[in-house]
């Protein structure tokens, strides 16, 4: 696929508080540089991350998504990441069956000690998504009757 350089992918990262969020903090304290395209949403645990949030991200114009948490056996809650892993195994195959572009979701385990891994993860994902181009396919679908629709202020 041709990589169009003028395109700045929007990427949203769902991370757990105990490993990857802390890992990203370490990236900061070690002053490692990475692309600005990724914004982090903090969760207590990957087990908390609802698959609908990933769908919503694409609907709202994200070109890529990162989901990251503790390595197996390192979960602060002992098994949240194992539950998450299963959820993602299932979710991926649903999306694949429906023809959603699963290359745009990058799952990873980043521990609190892997500051550099986080930087690499972000940079690589940004590069991959840039190569894939904007996820217009999905957004086109979203831009119909939706915008005014979502979540009225309660």
With CB under 8 A as the contact rule, the residue among 1, 5, 6, 33 that binds another protein is: 33
With CB under 8 A as the contact rule, the residue among 24, 111, 114, 130 that binds another protein is: 24
Would residue 86 be called left, alpha or beta, if left means φ above 0 and alpha means ψ between -120 and 50 degrees? alpha
Let me know: does 74 contact 59? Beta carbons within 8 Å. no
With CB under 8 A as the contact rule, the residue among 3, 86, 127, 136 that binds another protein is: 86
- Structure tokens of 40? 């982090």
Q: Kindly write out the interface string for residues 93-132 of this chain, putting x where it contacts another protein by CB under 8 A and - elsewhere.
A: xxxxxxxxxx---xxxx---------x-x-----------
- Nearest distance, CB of residue 108 and another protein, angstroms: 4
Let me know: does 140 contact 49? Beta carbons within 8 Å. no
Any idea which residue has 């802390």 for tokens? 22
- Strand 64-69 relative to strand 105-109, pairing: parallel
With CB under 8 A as the contact rule, the residue among 36, 113, 127, 136 that binds another protein is: 36
Residues 38-67 that bind another protein (CB under 8 A): 39-45, 47-53, 55-57, 59-62
- Nearest distance, CB of residue 29 and another protein, angstroms: 6
- Structure tokens of 7? 């395109």
Residue 112, Cα to own-chain centre: how many angstroms?
Answer: 17
Binding-residue total with another protein (CB under 8 A): 82
- Nearest distance, CB of residue 73 and another protein, angstroms: 8
H or E segment and range at residue 140: helix 136-142
- Nearest distance, CB of residue 141 and another protein, angstroms: 4
- Nearest distance, CB of residue 3 and another protein, angstroms: 18
136 backbone dihedrals φ, ψ, rounded to 5°: -60, -40
């Amino acid at each position: 696929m041709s990589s169009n350089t003028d395109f700045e992918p929007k990427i949203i990262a769902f991370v757990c508080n105990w490993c990857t969020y802390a890992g990203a903090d370490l990236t900061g304290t070690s002053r490692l540089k990475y692309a600005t395209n990724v914004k982090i949403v903090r969760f207590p645990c990957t087990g908390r991350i609802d698959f609908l949030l990933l769908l919503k991200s694409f609907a709202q114009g994200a070109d890529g998504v990162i989901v990251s948490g503790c390595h197996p056996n390192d979960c602060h809650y002992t098994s949240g990441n194992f539950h998450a892993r299963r959820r993602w195994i299932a979710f991926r195959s649903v999306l694949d069956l429906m023809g959603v572009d699963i290359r745009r979701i990058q799952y990873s385990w980043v521990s609190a000690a892997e500051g550099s891994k986080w930087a690499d993860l972000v940079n690589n994902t940004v590069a991959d998504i840039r190569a894939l181009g904007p996820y217009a396919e999905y957004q086109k679908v979203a831009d119909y009757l939706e915008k005014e629709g979502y979540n009225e202020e309660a």
